[in-house]
Structure 1
Amino acid sequence: MAVNGCLSGIIKSIININLTIVWHRLWTTFNLISKQDHKTKILENAIRRTRTFIPPLWPLNHLN
């Protein structure tokens, strides 16, 4: 029981660290966007980046 408790504690701490890193990145990018005058350009670039990542996943979905 002690080992399981320890492992779950480690896993929870790792998840919390990852969430805080993601939140920090989102917050910093949001602050940058709000400070910039060219908000639409930054948003368009972000959308393009996500679009470039999404297409490779489509063939994998069809294989499943």
Structure 2
Amino acid sequence: MAMQNAITEIKDGLDKVTKSVLALRAGFEAKKVRGETTMMTTTPSLSATWLEVEFLQATR
């Protein structure tokens, strides 16, 4: 039973790390896209907005 609990805790920890990495990746990508679109126009692109939504959902 103790072994099963340890495995479950490790799996839960890995799931949290995975969510954090995906959120950071989306955040950096959104920042990159925003930086590129700022040079061309003052309105954010649809892809930047979509990545921000994904980032917010991933961090919940």
State if a TM-score over 0.5 links the two structures. yes
Q: Which residue number in structure 2 is paired with residue 19 of structure 1?
A: 20
Q: Which residue number in structure 2 is paired with residue 10 of structure 1?
A: 11
1:16 CA displacement: 0.6
The one-character-per-residue Cα deviations of 1:4-28 (angstroms, maximum 9, x if unpaired) are 1100000000111111111101100
Q: Distance in 2 between matches of 1:26 and 1:34?
A: 12
Q: CA RMSD in A?
A: 2.4
Unaligned runs of 5+ in 1: 51-64
Q: How many residues were matched structurally?
A: 46
TM-score, normalised to structure 2, is: 0.62
Q: Distance in 2 between matches of 1:6 and 1:24?
A: 27
TM-score, normalised to structure 1, is: 0.59
Output the amino acid matched with 1:26.
G
Query: Computing the radius of gyration over CA atoms, which structure comes out larger, 1 or 2?
Result: 1
Q: Distance in 2 between matches of 1:31 and 1:12?
A: 29
Q: Which residue number in structure 1 is paired with residue 29 of structure 2?
A: 28
SS of aligned partner of 2:43: helix
Percent identical residues: 4
